[in-house]
A and B are shown apart, each in its own frame.
Chain A
Amino acid sequence: MAGLSLRGVTKQFGSVTALTEIDLEITHREFVVIVGPSGCGKSTLLRVIAGLEQLSAGEIYVGDQPVHRVPAAKRGLAMVFQNYALYPHKTVAQNMGFALKMAKVRRDEIDRRVVEAARILQIEDLLERKPRQLSGGQRQRVAIGRAIVREPKVFLFDEPLSNLDAALRVDMRVELAKLHNSIDATMIYVTHDQVEAMTMADKIVVLRGGRAEQVGSPMDLYHRPANAFVAGFIGSPRMNQLPATISAVSSSGVSITAPGGLELSLPVAGHDARPGQPVTLGLRPEHLTVGPQSGGTSLDLDVYVTEPLGGETILYGHIGDNSTLVVKVPGGTDVGKGQRVPVGVVPAMCHLFTEDGTAFTPLHTNDKVERIGASSS
């Protein structure tokens, strides 16, 4: 097993730049999730690491070895594809052992490794079946097993759960996390699902337009997003982002005025801020409460849709100038469609972004957030 290092990785398809100078350090045993919206370049990044696409510029190291000019099969990586990519004419055992057969590993060693991987994934009784005789979840296990038998330095997963139904996806998420613990593996996992990213990752890379917007732990990204894009992408429901104006700047923070007559003093560093400057106020739905908050402030919400989910309820409503606000409240909260309710806001839980989306640095935090990409430069 080994870590992986990307240095200035750039990929162009003709005149289109798919990846721009990606730098990333992945340590041994780390579970890294690359996340971003469709077309952001996350699958391209994985394919470049795998060797399925040639680099336009930059370097890739597996451990200490540069691999960007090494053929895909010799990089010591294994990839699990979105559509499983199992060979339909081969049995499960043949699928799993094929890479070893190509590498001219001895027959008994292939059998040993296939049986061991099948035991880990609990698919021993499926070894003689063809892929068409398997369910979606079983196929996914076989695809993972095919990667395991190669004993790769790094596992690459390209949206491996996206074809599974919701319940199975949750099960497989847990299975993958267990697998990561049990086989001592470095894993890179691509998804567009921020829930997968948050629940599985040691480190998340948020991509947009081929650039890494932010790299950090899930909690870093959640609590200290580098910009409005990351703030909106991480967290469910999405962070509310309201237009606001700076009314005052002091050493203890920045005061703002937001829709609905909301006036807040936020504990953020306002180095270059000036009164009258337009900004964006970020409020996570789960950080808002129905009813005034002690030590906070409140605004009136005209609820137009409620989504009761059992344990919690999502409220959609208008405030002030007709801006939409989403609030997550406990499931038992008695709020109905058409009601006007006061919503409490705690300044310490708010985020503030400049007009171009860059986050204001929170005061009172010692945690270092790794920020890269154009928006933070």
Chain B
Amino acid sequence: MSQAQVAAHSVALDGEITFRRNPLIDVAVLATTFVVWAFLIFPAVWIFLGSFKTTETMFAATTFSFTLDNYQTIFRAGFGRFIFNSLFICLIAVVISTFVSVIASYVFSRKRFRGKRIIFGSVILGQLFPWIILVTPLFIMFARIGLLNSYVGMILSYVAISIPFSVYLLVGYLETVPRELDEAAVMDGCSQFQIVWTIIFPIMLPGIVATATYAFLLMWTEFLFALAFLTKTSLKTMPLGLAQFFGEQTVDWGAIMAASAVTTLPALILFLPLQTKLSGGLAAGSVKG
């Protein structure tokens, strides 16, 4: 306990211990929070406003000339298709990744088997490789089995990159779920599959939402694999679409800002309603319910 905190504790005349807050500390905490919040939110606000500005007023601090041209530009350039591709690939990959991760984490958390620690360690090991190392072998493998320029190839690679950390998160979450619930379900006549999906899944839902959100955002913003495995314009995802506005000679800042705003929107629409569950999931591991 710091001296300031010790000083803040005092014994009232009636003998009760009271805690007197220093108002200056409150102000300092609020001011710091505001500064951090401003740093976080400023780029998003600047991009959102910039997406509605004309090229001439883009970097002007005092003038604002409203236009929707930037949005027309990106959708004429096929950005709608990129949104569809990203949504299609990411949503399917998240569903598969979550399904596999829930089952894998249940097995790692609840089952006793030989070599469990080594296998679990190897799952996490996959997360430690820089993705750039994986690109070349995956490219050669995908080329051989015809998965370049395909949704299937992208979905498989995104499932693969998201599973290790998802499993790691979910195993940690499962450790907070009492094993007696599984045993009660066994006594109630549930099969292993029913235990996972009718008992454990609903209880783990906040943790699963947190994990799926992480996985979705990981895939949604992924650039390297998409660049390597997708060359057909009709299959490109949003990060690739965004990159095409960076020309060799010129940069269309208005289009980039509009594309950035559009890129952010689906993620917000999908996950804002789940925010309470997400925060619940992240906090649940700390307190045994």
Taking Cβ atoms with an 8 Å cutoff, the residues of A that contact B are: 47, 50-52, 72-74, 77-79, 81-83, 85-89, 98-99, 102-103, 132, 146
B175 cross-chain contacts in A, Cβ below 8 A: none
Q: Type the 1/0 row for B50-74, where 1 means its CB is closer than 8 Å to any CB of A.
A: 0000000000000000000000000
Q: Please name all residues of chain B whose beta carbon is closer than 8 Å to the beta carbon of A77 when the two chains form the complex.
A: 187
- Contact call A79/B187, Cβ cutoff below 8 A: yes
Q: A88-B203, A89-B203 are in contact. Are A102 and B190 (CB under 8 A)?
A: yes
Q: Is B202 an interface residue (CB 8 A)?
A: yes
Contact at B190–A81, with CB atoms within 8 Å? no
Closest chain B CB from A346 CB (angstroms): 48
Query: A100 vs B69: C-alpha distance in the bound complex, in angstroms?
Result: 63
Give the contacts of B155-201 with A (CB-CB under 8 A): 178, 180-181, 183-190, 194, 199
Shortest C-beta distance, B117 to chain A (Å), equals 15
Report the minimum CB–CB distance from A1 to chain B (whole Å). 18
Contact at B186–A73, with CB atoms within 8 Å? yes
Bound Cα distance from A98 to B194, whole angstroms: 12
Decide if B181 touches A85 in the complex (CB within 8 Å): yes
Residue of B nearest to A79 (CB): B187
Q: A83-B180, A88-B289 are in contact. List 5 more A-B contacts (CB 8 A).
A: A51-B186, A52-B186, A74-B189, A88-B203, A132-B289
Residue of A50, A77, A81, A146 most packed against chain B (CB within 10 A): A81
Between B181, B183, B188, the greatest number of chain A beta carbons within 10 A of the residue's beta carbon is seen for B188
Contact of A85 among B183, B190, B194 (CB under 8 A): B183
Min CB–CB distance A54 → chain B (angstroms): 12
Enumerate chain A residues within 8 angstroms of B180, measured Cβ to Cβ. 81-83, 85
CB-CB nearest 7 A-B residue pairs: A73-B189, A85-B180, A102-B189, A85-B184, A99-B188, A89-B202, A81-B180
CB-defined A-B contacts under 8 Å, sample of 11: A72-B186, A73-B188, A73-B189, A74-B189, A79-B187, A85-B178, A87-B181, A89-B203, A99-B187, A99-B188, A99-B189
- A133 CB to closest chain B CB, in angstroms? 13
Number of A-B contacts (CB under 8 A): 51
B181 and A52 contact, CB distance less than 8 A:
no
Identify the closest chain B residue to A98 (Cβ).
B188
At the interface, is chain B mostly helix, strand, loop or mixed?
helix
Q: Kindly state the separation between the CA atoms of A51 and B184 in the bound complex, as whole angstroms.
A: 11
Given contacts A85-B178, A88-B289, contact A52 B188 (CB under 8 A): no
Do A52 and B203 touch (CB < 8 A)?
no
Residues A83 and B178 in contact, CB atoms below 8 Å apart: yes
Count chain B CB atoms within 10 A of each CB in A73, A85, A99, A103 and give the residue with the most. A85
| Complex Cα–Cα for A47 and B187 (A) | 11
In Å, the complex CA distance between A79 and B187 comes to 7
Contact A102 B203 (CB under 8 A): no
Considering the chains assembled together, what is the distance between the CA atoms of A164 and B7 in angstroms?
Answer: 39
With contact pairs A83-B180, A88-B289 given, residues A73 and B199 touching in the complex (Cβ less than 8 Å): no
Kindly list chain A residues whose C-beta atoms are within 8 Å of the C-beta of B183.
Answer: 47, 52, 79, 81, 85
Q: Is the CB of A73 within 8 A of B203?
A: no
| A81 touching B189 in the complex, CB below 8 Å, given contacts A88-B203, A89-B202, A102-B194 | no
Chain B residue numbers with a CB within 8 Å of A78 are 187
Bound: A77/B190 CA distance, A: 15
Taking the nearest CB of chain B, how far is it from the CB of A191, in angstroms?
17
Distance (whole angstroms) from the CB of B106 to the closest CB of chain A? 16
Binary per-residue interface labels of chain B (5-30) against chain A in the complex, 1 for a CB within 8 Å, 0 otherwise: 00000000000000000000000000
Q: Give bound CA distance, A326 to B187, whole Å.
A: 45
Complex Cα–Cα for A45 and B203 (A) = 29
Q: Which of B180, B203, B289 has the most CB of A within 10 A?
A: B180
A88 CA / B178 CA spacing, docked (Å): 11
How far is the CB of B144 from the nearest CB of chain A, in Å?
A: 46
Closest-by-CB residue of B relative to A97 is B188
Q: Report the minimal beta-carbon distance from A174 to chain B, rounded to whole angstroms.
A: 25
Contact B187 A50 (CB under 8 A): yes
Residue of B nearest to A53 (CB): B183
B188:A102 contact, CB within 8 angstroms:
yes
Nearest residue, chain B, Cβ from A143: B184
Bound: A319/B225 CA distance, A: 83
Chain A residues with CB below 8 A from B199, complex form: 87
**Min CB distance, A353 to chain B, in Å?**
39
Q: How far is the CA of A50 from the CA of B181 in the complex (A)?
A: 15
Q: What residues of A have a CB within 8 angstroms of the CB of B202 in the complex? A: 89
**A73 partner, pick from B181, B187, B289, beta carbons under 8 A:** B187
